[in-house]
Structures are given as structure tokens and as C-alpha cells.
Chains A and B, each alone.
Chain A
Amino acid sequence: GEDVEQSLFLSVREGDSSVINCTYTDSSSTYLYWYKQEPGAGLQLLTYIFSNMDMKQDQRLTVLLNKKDKHLSLRIADTQTGDSAIYFCAELIYGGSQGNLIFGKGTKLSVKP
């Protein structure tokens, strides 16, 4: 079945880089997403990558995709205290002709000053 795995916690110091990892199971996934959730809030789309890409960079965010190993990572450069949140990896799964997102359990990023 479909499954997305993430480590639950990551702690870094302000100014360091953070790397959040994710593995997924469905080799037919076309889009993979990273969402951020702050306390009491909904999900904010950070970035996404199409499955025919290896890397995507967007300001401080770099997404790396290894299709062979079904591994996705999100690197946040120069991590700030405002980056403290839960980060969700999600893959777009097609059931019939329609898609829905399968989410990981989320990685809680703590940034220490």
C-alpha cells in the first residue's frame, strides 16, 4: 500500500542548515510536496517537485529527489527560529483518474537560538 515515512523530530541551531528526509512507496507518484504547519494553523505549501526532476531550488529551500530509492529531502538553508514548525512530505496518488495526497506523519523542526 501507499506509505510515506518521515523522522519525527529534528533540532538545529539558528543559522545552520536543516535537512528533512522522507521516503515514499508509490513509484507512480508524479508530484511530491512539502507543506509547513505552524501551531493552530492549516498547511502552507512550501514547494513541490515533479517526478521527472532531481532537484528544485526556491530561495532558502532545496528539494532533492532520488526516484530509484524513493527518497525525498528538503534542505532549509540558514534556518531561522521562524522556521520552527512541523513539516509534512506528501505524494500525489492516483486512485482511478483522480488524485489525492498521502502525507507522512510530519517532522517537528525545533530551531534553537
Chain B
Amino acid sequence: KAGVTQTPRYLIKTRGQQVTLSCSPISGHRSVSWYQQTPGQGLQFLFEYFSETQRNKGNFPGRFSGRQFSNSRSEMNVSTLELGDSALYLCASREGHDGNYGYTFGSGTRLTVV
């Protein structure tokens, strides 16, 4: 079974631009979560999607948004990029959306904002 696939692996953007990151979950997994990892703040929860609906949201500004498609693939979008958005963005998938299901993470997209 293929793992969680995130594209692109690396991205460099300019302050003020917007960016879209993609995540393909493990086949059969219907829940996709996004996390931001920075040296200062560590790993922080962004949001979770299940069946194309956002089920849970972390404490991030509205510039961070996401969506999920009918095939469970997910995208997250960050508008008006700031230098502080530079981070490793990790996607995780699981079969269901309650605690009985473990999270499998992708390798991440490393975003650098200059």
C-alpha cells in the first residue's frame, strides 16, 4: 500500500504570495489532517477533513484554509504569505475520524518564504 504522498517536497515563495500544498492519503483512508512544524512552535494542528467536510480546526488565522475532494485527496492553501509561515507542513491520514484510528504521516512539504 502506498503511503501518504505530499507534493511538492520543497517550495520557495515570496512574502505576499499564496501557495497550495497537496496531500494524497493512503488508499481507503478518509480522514486527512494537516500540521505545521517549526523550530520555535513545534508541531501544531491546522485542521482535519473527513468526507469533504472540515471536522476540526486549530488556532491559525483565516489565511490558512483547506479542502478535501471526493477521492479524499486534500489541499491546503496559505494566502498572503508571511516570513513566519516558513515551516514543514505535514499531512496525516487515517481510516476514520475518531480515536480508534492511528495517524500515518507523509514526508511533508518544506515551505520557505523569502
Contact = CB atoms under 8 A, between A and B. Distances in A.
Interface of A: 30-31, 33, 35, 41-45, 48, 88, 90, 92, 94-106
Contact of B107 (A30, A33, A42, A98): A42
Majority SS at the chain A contact face: strand
Contacts of B6: 42
B33 interface: yes
Contact of A100 (B45, B104, B107): B45
Majority SS at the chain B contact face: strand
Interface residues of B, number: 24
B103 interface: yes
Interface in B81-113: 90, 92, 97-99, 102-108
Given A42-B90, A42-B106, A100-B45, 14 more contacts: A31-B99, A35-B105, A41-B107, A44-B105, A48-B102, A95-B56, A98-B56, A98-B97, A99-B98, A100-B48, A103-B35, A104-B42, A105-B42, A106-B42
B42 A96 contact: no
A6 to B, nearest CB: 10
Contact of A43 (B48, B58, B105): B105
Contacts of B33: 100-101
B48 A98 contact: yes
